[in-house]
Amino acid sequence: MLQIELWKRIVIWGLVALGLLLALPNGFYTRVETHNDALAVIEAGSDAPGLQEQVDQWPGWLPSGLVNLGLDLRGGAHLLAEVKVADVYQARVEGMWPEIRDMLREERSNIGPIRLQPTDNPELRIRLVEKPEAVEDAAALVRGLARPVVSLTGVNSSDIEVRTENDLIIVGLSEAEKLATDERTVRQSLEIIRRRIDEVGTREPTIQRQGSDRILIQVPGVGSAAELKDIIGTTAQLTFQPVVGRTTNADDAPGPGNEILPSLDEPDTYYILEKAPVVTGEELVDAQPDFDQNGRPAVSFRFNPTGARKFGDYTADNIGNPFAIVLDGEVISAPVIQSHIPGGSGIITGRFSVEESTNLAVLLRAGALPAGLEFLEERTIGPELGADSIEAGKIACIVAFALVLFFMFVSYGTFGIFANIALIINVGLIFGLLSLIGATLTLPGIAGIVLTIGMAVDANVLVFERIREEIKSARGPARAIELGYEKALSAITDANITTFITALILYAMGSGPVRGFAITLGLGIITSVFTAIFVTRLIAIIWFERRRPKTVLSGRALRLVPKDTKWQFFRRWKMTMGASVILLFVSVGSFAVQGLNYGIDFRGGTTIRTQSTQEIDIGQYRQALQTLELGDVTITQVFDPTFEEDQHVAMIRIQAQDGEESVSADVTRNVLAALQAVIPDIEFTSVESVGPKVSGELIQTAIIAVLLAISAVLFYIWLRFEWQFAVGAVAALVHDVLLTIGIFSILKIQFDLAIIAALLTIVGYSLNDTVVVFDRVRENLRKYKKKALSEVLNLSINETLSRTVMTSVTTLLALVALFVLGGDVIRGFVFAMIWGVIVGTYSSVFVASSILLWLGVKRDWSKPDASAGTQFADVDA
C-alpha cells in the first residue's frame, strides 16, 4: 500500500532539516569565518577591542562549521615532506656512548682500557685495547644497559643489540627499537611542525601524516612554498658542546667521539667538538628575540630545571674553557666561560638581523625537529587563481544546476518537480556533511559536486521510468508508484554500490585533490540515494494523498527515446564489436608509439603558471630562460574564454633532470628574475614542484588504483549476478579506460593526477549503466524462460534505453557546463569525464551485452521465479 508511517516521515524530514541546518553557515561564509576566527582569538586569551563585535556577527546557537576551501580556491602553499627517520639512529646511538664509556671505565681492572672506533654505520664500535679475551664479559655488561622497547609492536624486545667481533663490541639499535624510533620521530615532527605553523598564526592549516614517514602540510594564505619551508624546514637542532680545538682544515681527523663543524661567523674556521652535548635544545623552555650589550640582535633563552643544573655544573667546572653553541651543524659562537652561570638562562649572539633573531626564537620555542625533512612535492597557489576558480566553479554549478532542473521538469512534469526539490536538498545535504566532517573543498571537489548534480537524477529516472512501465499494466497509479520504487531499488542499489566502491578506492589510494574529489563523490552517492528513495517518494505520496490523480507520468513531455522501442541491437553486433576492437588497437598503438603527455605529477619537475598584461611570445619566454640552462623546458599558452582582454596566461614546465629535483626555491626565483627582465609585470600565480621519487610512486599508485577498482567491481558483480555478467562488465570497463587513455594520447592532452580520478569515475559511471542493464536482463531471464538470450538482451536494453539516454544527457549537461565555464585549470579533467560518459554509454549497450551474448548464460531454473528487487519489497521508505 502506498503509505509511509508517521514516525518515518518525521525521521526523513528531520534528517533533511538537520543537513540543511549544517549547510546553512556556508551561505554566509565571510560572516561565519570572521565569527570563528574572533572566537578562536578570545579562547586563546586575547581581549583585543572589536573581537566581541566580530563574534556577534553570527548567532552562537546556530552551527558554525564551514567547508574549508582548498589551496586552489583560497591560495597558499602545499608541501609533502619525507622525514629522514634514519638520521635519528646515529644520534640515538651516539647518545648512549657517555653511559657505556663510564660503565666500562669502572670495570677497567677487568677488561682493560677501551677505545671508540670510527664507523660510517649507525652503531658504536668499541675496541678492548689490552684484554681482547674479556670482550664477551664487556659485552654482557653493555647488554645490562638495555631497556625494553616502548611500543605495542616491541613488547618483550630490547632497545639495543650487542654483538662481538674479535676484540670489538658492536652496539646498535634493535629492529623493534628502530620501528618505535621511526614512529616517535614522525609523530614528534608532526607536532613540532604544527607548533611552528601555529606560532605564525595562519588560518586552518592542514597538517597530517601520509604513509609511514611523510607529512602533508597545506597552509592557506602563505605567500609561497619557499616561505613555508623557511618556517618548518629548518631542524633547529640546538646543542651546547665542549670545544676540543680549532682548525682551518675541514679534513683534519677530529678523533674518536669528536666532530668538526664550521663556524657561522668566521670564514675558513672549524671547531673540533665533543659529539656528546652537555645540554640540548630539548631542555629549553623559552626563547625570545633580544639584543646584546652592544645593541645587536640576539636570542635569549632559558632551560628547564634539568637543563639549568647541567648548564650550571658544566660552567662551574670549566671556567676559562671555550663552549660552543651549535645550531643545525654550525657553530654560532664559541664564547669562553668567564664564570659560573646559575639559573639556566643565557643569550645567543651572532651576526643576526632582527628578522633572523625573531625566526630563530620561533624555531627554538617550537622545538627541534628530531630529523631532517626532504621536500618531495611543493605547490604555491596564488589567491588570484583561487578567486578565478571559485567564480568559475560557482557559475558552472549554477548553470549545470539550472540545465538539469529544466531538463527534469520538461521530461517528467510534476514528478520532475519532485526530483528537482530532492536535487536541491541533495546539494544542501552534501554541503552539510562536508561541513560536519570539516572537509576541504578543492576544484576537483567542485567537479565532484557538479558530477553529482548530473548523476543524482539517475535514481529518480530509474524510478520514474519504472512507474511509466507499471502504469501500462492498469493496476492504478498508487500501485504503479509503489511497484516503481520497489522494482527500481535493486538496480539503484547495485549501480550506486559499484560507484561507491570506486570512490572508496579513490580515497584510499589518492591524495590531495583526488581525495577531495572522492569525498564529494562518495557523499554525493549517499545523499543521492537517500533523496531519491526516501525524499522524492515521501513528496510523491504526500502529493498523491491530496490530489488522488487517475494517472501519473502519462501527459505530454519531452522524450529523447520513443515509446516502446524494438530496436535490434545485435543485428550487427559483430560490426560494433569490430569497431570497438579497431578503436582499441588505435588507442594502444598511439600509446605505444607516442605515449602520454604526462603532467608534472607523473614526470617530476616544476610547473609555473604565469600571468601578465603583455601578449605572450613563446620565443621570447624561451630565449629569456636559455641562459639558466634548465634542460627540458616546455612553454605553452593557456586560452580560455573567461579570461579578460589583458589577461595572458602561460604554463612553464621545467623537467626534473637526472640526479636533480626541480623543487628548489632558487630555480623559481631565477626563472622569475629572467622573465621579469623582459616582461616587467609578469607574476607567478602558481608554482608546483614534484620530485622524481613522488612522481614514480604516483604512476605505480595510479595503476594499482585502476586494477583494484576493476577487481573489486568484478568480485561484486560476480557475487550479485553470475561470472558471465562480471566478465562482460569488466570488458566494458577495460574498453572505456583504454579508449580514454587513447584519446589523451592521440590529442596529446596533458595527463595528470586528476585524470586518474576521472578514469576511476568513468569506471564507476560505466558500471552504473552496465549494472542497470544487467539487472533488467536478470529479471527478464526469470520472466521469459524460453526466449533466446539475444531476444532477452534486446528487450532489456530497449526497456532501459530511455533511462540510459536520460541519465547520460543530464550528466553531459552538467559536464559541458563545467567544461565551458569552469576554467582551464580542470578542462582536461572534465574532458575525460565527458568522453567517459559517451564511451561508457556505448559500451554498456554494445560491449558488455555482446560479451554476455557471446559467453551465454546458464539458466538455473531452480532459483525462485521472482522479479529482481523482490528482496527489498518490504522496505517502505
Element (H, E) at 2: none
Tell me what the pLDDT averaged over the chain comes to: 79
| Eight-state DSSP code of residue 616 | P
- What are the pLDDT digits (tens) for 462-497? 888 888 878 877 577 888 888 888 888 877 887 778
The reported pLDDT for the residue numbered 176 is 85
d(CA 521, CA 817): 18
**pLDDT band for position 11 (cuts 50, 70, 90):** very high
Confidence check: pLDDT of 682 > 60: yes
Q: Is residue 812 over pLDDT 60?
A: yes
Element (H or E) spanning 269, and its range? none
- What pLDDT score does 694 carry? 65
CA–CA dist 730, 717 (Å, integer): 9
What Å distances lie between residue 446 and 69, 431, 452, CA to CA? 11, 11, 10
Q: Give CA angle at 253 (249, 259), nearest 5°.
A: 90
How sure is the predictor about 216, in pLDDT bands with cuts at 50, 70 and 90?
Answer: confident
pLDDT, one tens digit per residue, over 126-173 is 888 888 888 888 888 888 888 887 666 666 778 888 888 888 889 988
Most confident of 16-25, 223-232, 291-300: 16-25
- Sign (positive or negative) of CA dihedral 455, 421, 522, 430: positive
Q: How far is CA 235 from CA 72, 328, 373, 518, 850, in A?
A: 28, 7, 8, 35, 62
Residue located via cell numbers 605567500? 223
pLDDT-derived band at 396 (thresholds 50, 70, 90) equals confident
Structure-block grid coordinates of residue 455: 548523476
For position 586, what pLDDT does the model report? 92
CB 342 within 8 A of CB 277: no
Decide: residue 472, CB within 10 A, 0-12 exposed, 13-18 middle, 19+ buried. Answer: exposed
Evaluate if residue 14 carries a pLDDT over 90.
yes
Range from 306-320, 555-569, 723-737 carrying the lowest mean pLDDT: 555-569
% of the chain exceeding 70 in pLDDT: 86
**Cβ atoms of 604 and 659 closer than 8 Å:** no
How many helices and strands (H and E) does the chain possess? 27, 25
Return the residue matching grid coordinates 588570484: 384
Joined grid coordinates for residue 138: 664487556
Q: Is the Cβ–Cβ distance between 229 and 200 less than 8 Å?
A: no
- Categorize the per-residue pLDDT at 431 as very low, low, confident or very high, splitting at 50, 70 and 90: very high
Q: How confident is the model at residue 872 (pLDDT cuts 50, 70, 90)?
A: very low
CA distance 482 to 873: 9
The answer to whether residue 701 scores a pLDDT higher than 80 is: no
- First-to-last CA distance in the chain? 12
362 in the Ramachandran plot: left (φ > 0), alpha (ψ -120 to 50) or beta? alpha
Write phi, then psi, for 472 (nearest 5 degrees): -65, -25
| Whether 661 contacts 654, CB under 8 Å | no
Q: Please state, in angstroms and rounded to a whole number, the distance separating the CA atoms of residues 361 and 219.
A: 21
CA 529 to CA 485: how far, in whole Å?
12
Q: 713, 501 in Cβ contact below 8 A?
A: yes
C-alpha cell at 848: 558488455
Question: Which has the higher per-residue pLDDT, 867 or 784?
Answer: 784
Tell me how many degrees the CA angle 586-592-595 measures, rounded to the nearest 5: 100
Q: Sorting pLDDT into bands at 50, 70 and 90, what band is 868?
A: very low
Rg for the chain, CA atoms, rounded:
34
pLDDT score, position 22: 92
Distance separating alpha carbons of residues 835 and 503, to the nearest angstrom: 19
Q: What's the pLDDT score for residue 827?
A: 76
**Per-residue pLDDT reduced to its tens digit, 90-99:** 877 877 887 8
Please check whether residue 244 is in contact with residue 224, taking contact to mean a CB–CB distance below 8 angstroms: no
Q: What is the largest CA-CA distance in the chain?
A: 109
Positive or negative, the Cα torsion across 574, 576, 577, 579? Answer: positive
For residue 134, the tally of other CB atoms under 10 A from its CB is 16
CB under 8 Å to 656, separation ≥6 — which residues? 603, 604, 605, 606, 662, 690, 691, 692, 695
Q: Is the pLDDT of residue 681 over 60?
A: yes
**DSSP conformation letters of 428-487:** HHHHHHHHHHTPEE-HHHHHHHHHHHHHTHHHHHHHHHHHHHHHTTTS-HHHHHHHHHHH
Query: Dihedrals φ, ψ of 683, to 5°?
Result: -140, 155
Residue 286, pLDDT > 80, answer no
Range of 420-434, 640-654, 822-836 with top mean pLDDT: 420-434
Is pLDDT above 90 for 29? no
| Mean pLDDT of the region 833-846 | 86
Span 746-775, mean pLDDT? 77
What SS3 string covers 659-701? CCCCCCHHHHHHHHHHHHCCCCCCEEEEEEEECHHHHHHHHHH
Q: Cα–Cα–Cα angle for 819, 825, 829, nearest 5°?
A: 55
Name the band, by pLDDT with cuts 50, 70 and 90, for residue 546: confident
Q: In the predicted model, is pLDDT for residue 376 greater than 60?
A: yes
Q: How many CA atoms lie within 13 A of 216 on its CB side?
A: 14
pLDDT bin (cut points 50, 70, 90) of residue 871 is very low
Instruction: Decide if pLDDT at 354 tops 90.
Output: no
Tens of pLDDT, residue by residue over 620-655, are: 888 888 877 776 677 877 776 667 788 888 888 776
Residue whose grid cell is 618483550: 156
Cα 241 to Cα 278: distance, rounded to the nearest angstrom: 6
By the 8 A CB rule, do 608 and 684 touch? yes
- Looking at residue 249, the DSSP 8-state letter turns out to be -
Please name which of 372, 358, 237, 255 lies closest in space to residue 297, comparing C-alpha atoms: 358
Query: Phi and psi at residue 176, in whole multiples of 5°?
Result: -65, -40
- Rounded Cα distance between 516 and 449, Å, is 11
Residue 294 pLDDT greater than 50, yes or no: yes
Average pLDDT over residues 207-221: 79
Q: Residue range 266-279: average pLDDT?
A: 86
| Phi/psi at 61 (5° precision) | -85, -10
Phi/psi at 767 (5° precision): -65, -40
Averaged over 79-104, what is the pLDDT?
A: 82
- Of the pLDDT bands very low, low, confident and very high (cuts 50, 70, 90), residue 877 is very low
pLDDT over 60 (residue 784): yes
Predicted local confidence at residue 775, as pLDDT: 84
Query: Using an 8 Å Cβ cutoff, are 484 and 462 in contact?
Result: no
